[in-house]
Chain A
């Protein structure tokens, strides 16, 4: 390019009123910040639009309660002022009847009926029945018409289901994902036994992640130690053994484990050959298969941070301890292990965080008893299309990830993620 060299001439030199050196410096610094800030901006905007905004929208869904308010805005408005004890005033009946007539047969009405049916089974048919009986015949009031359609409209309890959802926000889904619900009086109570499964699901998610993390540490620590104490040539070869599985598609590895662990697979055959078992063991479609595959998939995430920390530990520390009379095991525990601790922390947190969100491995290798939180998020999105529950379970999973990720970045520093990626 033939750019004239005057292009970068500082403006200050040609300016009418000369600035002080300090001002010039501040100006140059500001300009630099703007220039390099402009390089970051596209990525920030891109991630806000494609990642942060969608997640925020999903999380908001966990407290959204739009159905009743959008189908019956005027009724909702009136019900918010209702005392909740006696039958609602005539104005509520009138507004409700008007809005049913206005919306009946529309998707808004259907959504509201479905939403009320979630609160009380049978509410949908009540709504449909009521809608058929409206508008009121000439001379009859809205109250008379509604009670005529179904006597339940006389009971304050029926109206309470509407009143409780007359606000655009609800904690219902979040409560349901920790096995709590509102009772008829509006208090938070334990959910019914057949619906109270989510505390269990989250306990399982965290429990399985903890076990996988422990196994990864148990298997990864010796190998990382060996790699860190070998000459570079051998360490590089060992590194390839760690990184090749890391680079192999997760689905390939899941398929391979399915082949290995099936009842006529190599693992069972080898065990029977050595006379360790008489009958093939059930190794897949249960927790064994899920654990084996998850440890295999996540092991490199443990080894790489461990290795990068251990590489920096000089062997002379342990030697010094031993030469001063400290027994080998004690000098390892008292000298080496504390030095390797940052790597242990980083590796464990990373494995735990990644494990918590796993979906495909349990879905392909586990039974229904091994499904973790992610499975239920997918279930509510795909099968029952219950955005509220999908969002509420996501919110809890997301919060747990966020807390651990903050701990992780405090421990490792965001930049050093690169060390583990290499």
Chain B
């Protein structure tokens, strides 16, 4: 809102500022909006104006053995990596929230560090260590490293959820005779579930978009969707890439909507609780 007493200069600035912000938003959204229509282009150039409408690039994606294999591999690696990251990250976040010990801040920073260490270093390092023990060129090796890259997201989101968590509920459950495991699954987990799922979505997104570690660690049989896209963009960029990009964007939009829904739900629950 502009105040009624604003000077002309202030009015100009008011609109100029919004125009600047509008341009930044255009910059952010343009690439995403531009690529989707081209996936329906009739000819094989990624150029506007489009020459006609066609589903053939989606057909190509669904029928080409290389793309199908890559898609299958992504559907094997990412869910397992996500589950592993959730299974390791959730208890650790609960533990870190409950006890104090010297070096806790340091340990937390180390546990979160896979988020910031350059992925090339992670890729080269894991290849160096995994190759001699037969874990390079295997699904297991890829799942393990993707899980390590996803763990920080689970850890941070669950930690954030736990900040509003009333640990008296755990005490109450214990005093009523529930053993620790029952308490965790029946009391703690349902309450921190939004954090676990958000973290899981972040971990899934990380793994599903991971290309550098895959470049080093995966054999030709484990080529994932991003790996295949990387090769495709590097060699000859065709509308099939645009089709895959559109599918991936729809997927990430769904993940984003789920996240937003979870966030609103936990906000609502929290405001009800007080």
Contact = CB atoms under 8 A, between A and B. Distances in A.
Contacts of B226: 249, 251
B174 A8 contact: yes
Interface majority SS on A: helix, strand, loop or mixed?
helix
A378 B151 contact: no
B124 A36 contact: no
Contacts of B122: 51, 54-55
A3 B48 contact: no
A266 interface: yes
B91 A50 contact: no
A199 to B, nearest CB: 19
A284 to B, nearest CB: 11
A250 B206 CA distance: 10
A307 to B, nearest CB: 13
A256 B31 contact: yes
A197 interface: no
A46 B148 contact: yes
A296 B29 CA distance: 9
A409 B91 contact: no
Given A244-B253, A256-B34, A378-B124, A360 B179 contact: no
Interface string A240-259: 11111101111111111111
A390 B159 CA distance: 36
A60 to B, nearest CB: 10
Nearest to A413: B105
B245 to A, nearest CB: 4
Nearest to B17: A222
Nearest to A243: B256
Contacts, number: 288
Nearest to B205: A247
B112 interface: yes
A55 B122 CA distance: 7
A258 B237 contact: yes
A421 B32 contact: no
Contacts of B244: 252
Given A244-B253, A265-B47, A254 B157 contact: no
Interface in B165-197: 174-180, 182
Given A37-B95, A253-B32, A50 B144 contact: yes
Given A247-B256, A255-B229, A405 B116 contact: yes
Interface string B121-135: 111111111100000
Contacts of B234: 363-364
Interface in A393-421: 394, 397-398, 401, 405-406, 408-409, 413-415, 417-419, 421
Nearest to B97: A36
A283 B218 CA distance: 33
Interface string B241-263: 11011001100110110001001
A252 B245 contact: yes
Interface residues of A, number: 95
A247 B34 contact: no
B22 to A, nearest CB: 9
A398 B28 contact: no
A251 B70 CA distance: 15
Q: Pick from B92, B153, B237 the residue with the most CB of A within 10 Å.
A: B92
Given A241-B28, A378-B120, A405-B116, A39 B177 contact: no
Nearest to A61: B128
B89 A43 contact: yes
B253 to A, nearest CB: 7
Nearest to A404: B116
A417 B248 contact: no
A7 B116 contact: no
Interface residues of B, number: 101
Interface in A345-367: 353-354, 356-360, 363-364
B160 A418 contact: yes
B114 interface: yes
Contact of B245 (A3, A52, A255): A255
A4 to B, nearest CB: 7
B177 A4 contact: yes
A266 B46 CA distance: 11
Contacts of A299: 24, 27-28
A47 B148 contact: yes
Contacts of A33: 99, 101
Contacts of B107: 40, 44
B209 interface: yes
Given A43-B92, A43-B111, A357 B120 contact: yes
Contacts of A5: 176-177
A238 B116 CA distance: 27
Given A42-B88, A414-B112, A251 B230 contact: yes
Nearest to A420: B156
A63 interface: no
Interface in A185-213: none
B94 A36 contact: yes
B35 A377 contact: no
B98 interface: yes
Contacts of B109: 405-406, 409, 414
A219 to B, nearest CB: 5
B42 interface: no
Contacts of A382: 216
B25 A241 contact: yes
20 contacts: A3-B182, A8-B175, A46-B147, A47-B148, A51-B126, A222-B24, A226-B21, A238-B25, A241-B28, A249-B226, A249-B245, A256-B32, A260-B31, A266-B48, A356-B118, A359-B118, A378-B120, A378-B216, A401-B116, A414-B112
Interface of A: 1, 3-5, 7-8, 32-33, 35-40, 42-44, 46-47, 50-55, 57-58, 61, 219-220, 222-223, 226, 238, 240-245, 247-260, 262, 264-266, 269, 296, 299-300, 328, 353-354, 356-360, 363-364, 374, 377-378, 381-382, 387, 390, 394, 397-398, 401, 405-406, 408-409, 413-415, 417-419, 421-422
Given A256-B32, A357-B116, 8 more contacts: A42-B91, A51-B117, A226-B21, A245-B31, A252-B245, A259-B242, A300-B28, A377-B121
Nearest first, the 5 closest Cβ-Cβ pairs linking A and B are: A357-B118, A256-B31, A39-B95, A5-B177, A418-B160
